[in-house]
Chain A
Amino acid sequence: MNGNVLRVENVTMQFGGVVAVDDLTLEVNKGEIVALIGPNGAGKTTAFNVITGVYAPTNGAVYFNDELIVSNHPQGKMKQLYQGENKEKFAAVMEKTPDKITKLGIARTFQNIRLFKNLTVFDNVLIAKHMRTKSNFLSATYRFNFREEAQMRKEVMDLLEMQNLAHLKNEIASSLPYGQQRHLEIARALATNPSLLLLDEPAAGMNPQETIELTSFIKKTKEEFNLTVFMIEHHMDLVMKISDRIYVLDFGKQIARGTPEQVQSNERVIQAYLGVEEDA
């Protein structure tokens, strides 16, 4: 409708009595780098999990390229039986498990790295190509899909070379240093051919030098793959340097939004990060 890649509308995520995300509304436009920041426990990762379909939200909806991908279920667990208004729309949304959402073009990385630890670097990235294959298990078993397979391997090799991971391709993923594991996770996400990349704390655990490299790396990758990037990050240097816009969350609520300059000077953001001075 208005050309944004991702639109989150009034998403609330409640776990029992805890409201992890409270009425969050945000949008990410094509080609932007948008950051989601906030103190620990503000609900940033929960918001990511709602967007990627890991959690079904208590309320609200998420649109990707104006297609409804996540929505609260009209009747909770009885959703299959829902016969009311817009039932076709809800039926389509219910089918959207995380793998289907990835297929639509949203790729993500994880806050605490989730690589396939005992597999090689090459296999880690190759697995991400699996969902785009057209062959069925019989033709794959008896190698009738050898052209597709060779194509896949070539693409993965190109991707690894671009990420400077090619020399590590036969290493076991868990044996890599931390920074390279993060790089590998991004490479794996890119292998799914996404149009929107969600990065969950890409700079966590990196030293200042690595963080600077990451900044240029994200910018470069964004241009090369024609991506839109939506990221959670704690390193303010990084966030302020590369974001076009920033959303700030605190206790599940959005407390500020705007350009880096606007956010930096916002009273409530400073309060959320530094605390309020109580007058006697």
Chain B
Amino acid sequence: MKKSTKLLCSFILIIAAVGLLYYLDNNHIKYLYAISILERSAIFAIVAVSMNLLNGFTGLFSLGQAGFMAIGAYTVSVITIPVGIRQSVYYASGINSFIAKIELPLPLALLLGGLFAALVAALIGIPVLRLKSDYLAIATLGFSEIIRALLASPQLAKITNGSYGLNKIPKYSSIFVPFGIATICIATMVLLIRSSFGRAFLAIREDEIAAEAMGINLFKHKELSFIISSFFTGIGGGLLAVYMQSIDSSTFKIGITYDILLIVVLGGMGSVTGSVFAAFLVTASREWLRFFDDPLTIGGFQVPLFRAGFRMVVFSVLLMIVVLFYRQGIMGTREFSWDGIFRFFVNLPKRFMKKKKAGGTANER
């Protein structure tokens, strides 16, 4: 494929995406549900890419995402709830007099949320990043729970409203806010991954001993990757708080980390486009599958399986199928390219032919 054709394709895709968002935004009353799913997907795309930066590109298996999201979410919530209605939010425990008067616009609040998450990550990273693989995962998991417990503690009630959580967070002015921020964040991470520092991260993932022998300071680069990943996770958490409009500490239980891990693994460890694609796919398919939760009657007979909760069973089965057929996730470590798409469609008939010829032995490989 020629370069100009590729550029044209990308251009058309971007125009189409922006056009779709514009259309949805203008008719937002009609498409409230679709907008909500898309916004959630965009937010999860940021967090998934930031987790991929750490897990897929630097090779540090961390499960601390929920904690850093919580920090971002609480920071953003505390400083974006309009000053006028704050007393009504903090009715139970009262409000800290210092934060009572601070109100910042959303972008600044998000930046601050990200910075707080990054600061905490810098502190946690010093002891934790000396660990490797599973041990690192368990340690970060522990810290994430500690952060959550601290945020819900009565001692911090004047700031975080303790176990009551925070609500009345003003919602997005338009769908372009989460999508715009997601684009900026993901673009920044892609640029970082392709820079000299990103290559150093890859080197650490590939072989720590060789990386160190090539003059890469392991601790410095691991810490850097951890801080940057947490920064964007914090921003993602802040966006999630605005999306949900009310948060409490149980939102950021370990389950949310697993959701993100699922997206990252499904999309492919080490593929940014894979993570973004999987974020949309997973979030949307959870909603699409909702009809499995409704009772289904075929010819007067009610199918017993179709009831609340069956959706997740189907979802899990689908996941297993995808993981069985795409061992490395949908994208592996590759990135989206027009050439790849082109090749896929050209080879599609061939694939079918091959499978037919091979017959029963198609499973071997």
Q: What is the interface of chain A, defined by CB distance below 8 A to chain B? A: 52, 54, 97-100, 102-103, 107-108, 110, 114-119, 123, 126-133, 135, 137, 140-143, 145, 149, 152, 188, 192
Contacts and interface: CB of A to CB of B under 8 A. Distances in A.
Which label, helix, strand, loop or mixed, suits the secondary structure of the B interface?
Answer: helix
Interface stretch (B61-69, B102-110, B212-220, B305-313): B212-220
B197 interface: yes
Contacts of A143: 191, 195
9 contacts: A107-B213, A116-B202, A116-B207, A117-B207, A126-B199, A127-B199, A128-B215, A129-B196, A140-B192
Contact of A103 (B207, B215, B224, B228): B215
A52 B211 CA distance: 13
A94 to B, nearest CB: 14
A132 to B, nearest CB: 8
A198 to B, nearest CB: 10
Given A114-B209, A142-B191, A99 B218 contact: yes
Contact of B196 (A114, A119, A149): A149
A197 to B, nearest CB: 12
A18 B199 CA distance: 38
B151 interface: no
A54 B202 CA distance: 21
Contacts of B93: none
A125 B203 CA distance: 11
Contact of A127 (B192, B202, B224): B202
B188 A141 contact: yes
A143 B198 CA distance: 13
Given A116-B203, A127-B202, A152-B196, A102 B217 contact: no
A145 B194 CA distance: 13
Given A141-B188, A141-B191, A123 B202 contact: yes
Contacts of B207: 114-117
Most chain B CB within 10 A, of A126, A141, A145, is at A141
A116 B208 CA distance: 10
A99 B215 contact: yes
Contacts of B210: 110, 114-116
B114 to A, nearest CB: 14
Interface string B159-201: 0000000000000000000000000000010011001110110
B333 interface: yes
A102 B203 contact: no
Nearest to A107: B213
Contacts of B197: 130, 137, 140-141
Most chain B CB within 10 A, of A110, A130, A192, is at A130
Most chain B CB within 10 A, of A107, A115, A128, A142, is at A128
B335 interface: no
Interface in B207-246: 207, 209-218, 224, 228
